[in-house]
Amino acid sequence: MSDNKKRPPKNKTFIDSFRYAFEGVRTVFQEERNMRSHMFSFVAVILLSLFLPLSLHEWLWILLVSFLMIIMEILNTVIENIIDFISPDYHPLAKKVKDMAAAAVLFTSFFALVTGAVILLPKIFAILKIYQ
């Protein structure tokens, strides 16, 4: 490796690790519209859940699928960026990899939607019956 292309030093402190991680969070929010949509949904579901009588297990499921959705979107972005870096021109295999990463996000979002519906809809319907 030439001197003018040295890698930055590894995290020297625990604080550096957090700083770089938050830099990654900021980057994905700035560059990915879907991440902003997922975060909006995440906040909306959490706020709605605060007003519903959820059990501890229901909270854990809501939090699991919510964070899993965010994590999958980050991984999808990572995969897309790596593919763009190693294959800047169109290549059918690059397209397949990107499509499969997007499919993982799609299935995770479906899982999150079903989980949220199973947990939240009966509670919402129960509250609406009270006020009718």
List the catalytic residues.
Answer: 73
State which amino acid sits at residue 13: T
Neighbours of 101 (CB within 10 A): 19
Neighbours of 127 (CB within 10 A): 12
Read off the tokens for 24. 């990654």
Residue 87: strand, helix, or coil: coil
